[in-house]
Amino acid sequence: MKTPSNLKYAQSDEWFDPASGTVGITDYAQNQLSDIVFVEILVEEGEAVTVGKAIASVESVKASSEIYAPSAGKVSAINKGLSEKPEVLNSDPFGEGWMIKIEGGSAGDLMDSAAYEKHCEGRAH
């Protein structure tokens, strides 16, 4: 499981880059969902989001899941290509698989990579 140390993590398996405001799902999340076949971004550019607001819906061959905003702020960009190539989440959740960018967001109560890894290990048992 990859957990880049420059990112912050929500218990609900989203990552947040405090430097750029970029948001996506974690390697753990995409691994649990397995083959992702559909992504729908539920927010628009310029829209204000609050922590916990559903920002996307992801479907895999096993399940569907809501993706939540790990930080509050204004949506400054959306990865429009993700709906056309949802499978990129399977191979590159921290790169091309980003979902939205939030302007003015902060890491707040999010975990660092070590705490998130421990959180994930606790769920595996």
Q: What is the 3-state secondary structure (H, E, C) of the chain?
A: CCCCCCCEECCCCEEECCCCCEEEECHHHHHHHCCEEEEEECCCCCCEECCCCEEEEEEECCCEEEEECCCCEEEEEECHHHCCCCCHHHHCCCCCCCCEEEECCCCCCCECHHHHHHHHHHHCC
Residue 125 has pLDDT above 70, yes or no: no
Considering its fold, how many domains does the chain have in total? 1
Tell me what the mean pLDDT of segment 32-46 comes to: 95
Residue 22 is part of a domain; what is its CATH number? 2.40.50.100
Residue 76 lies in a domain: yes
pTM given for the model:
0.94
* pLDDT > 70 fraction of the chain, expressed in percent and rounded: 98
Residue 62 has pLDDT above 90, yes or no: no
Residue 109 lies in a domain: no
